[in-house]
Amino acid sequence: MTRRVVVTGVGLVSSLGIGTEVNWDALCAGDSGIASITRFDTTDHSVRIAGEVKGFDPLQFVAKKDVKKMDIFIQYAIAAADFAVTDANLVIDPETAARVGVFIASGIGGFSTIEREHKALLEGGPRRLSPFFIPASIINLAAGQVSIRFGAKGPNLATCTACSASAHAIGDAFEIIKRGDADVMIAGGSEAAITPLGVGGFAAMRALSTRNDEPTRACRPFDRDRDGFIIGEGAGVVILEEYERAHARGASIYAELVGYGMSGDAFHVTAPSETGDGAARAMQAALASAACDPSKVNYVNAHGTSTPYNDKLETLAIKRVFGDHAHELAVSSTKSMTGHLLGAAGGLEAGITALAVKRQMIPPTINLENPDPECDLDYVAGSTRNQAIDYALSNSFGFGGTNAVLLFKRCDG
């Protein structure tokens, strides 16, 4: 008998706010979290805007003595996990601990800690390095710290697959539950790369928007005037739970996760395949894994980065997968409001997609004012739409041609 997997909790932290409901409300209002960077002096930087998390107090989530032991990306992961666990009313006790796992991804990890400690090394030598440097910055310590916090003793993992990382984490956690290696997984991703090195590095690639004087209008997926993505930060964590267990304890269910697809472009280190082949095959794999006919899908939460190549090639890939039905789909990019959370994007957007399925509401793509002729689908421009959603895809594509797609289904039971 196939084990079903459902989403019973969602935890979101982004530039739109700290907490799931504040994020959802802002998304539905079409708000933008993009603003001028405050973390460091941007005078010499060509890019001076980002999606910073505002007003985050780690002491609300982490003991004072432990704050210095964790990079902020770990703190965001703990906060999002806190929200998700509370939302799910999940209790982890000694009897169930070994059946609850954690799978939290990051694309970059502790950039701010690495930069700080490198400066200490240059200025004072190796004796100036913090003993907490390594465990504060390595990627798997987000999952490690979350497992310690909640006493989750099941599978404990992390992925680092660029902008697909947390979609891979959720998809692999889904498979772990399906095959019976855990009953519950705390899964998602976290990122905090708004640092001089992070922003400067992406700017050097000319991947970022330079619309510095209009930050709230800078991220404009599918618009002909788009000029690059906006770095965002934060975390998205969901509680995945075996259906019978969730049903038995009376858990509220957002959606059922029914499909997961992966692929590789084998094309270029940063650019997507020119035919949209990799993205299309990942979507097809997600649909096939659930035996879902493409015509049943109502909504796609697009990768939608606001870069010239991604948006037109993702559009092309959707057309390849859905054929004539592509023009009946609702497609939106919530990155237009949150910015691009890199390795945490898939976790944030999986949570948003589960909320959309539960509430039968589709957050918009904002700033879509002059549609690109090569981007000719229904992108839910401007305002939230009430719409029936039976199946929804969440797309995540990353550098190196790594692709991950999650398929959610409405679950009334």
Task: Catalogue the active-site residues.
Answer: 163, 303, 340
Cα torsion through 6, 356, 88, 233, rounded to 10: 110
Q: What is the separation, in whole angstroms, between the first and last Cα of the chain?
A: 18
Q: 335-352 burial string, b = 16+ CB within 10 Å, else e? A: bbbbbbbbbbbbbbbbbb
Burial (0-12, 13-18, 19+ Cβ within 10 Å), 122:
exposed
Whole-number Å distance between alpha carbons of 346 and 340: 10
Backbone angles phi, psi at 61, to 5 degrees: -130, -20
SS3 115: helix
Helix and strand totals (H; E) in the chain? 13, 15
* Cα R_g (the chain), whole angstroms: 20
The pair of structure tokens assigned to 234 is 């934060």
SS3 401: coil
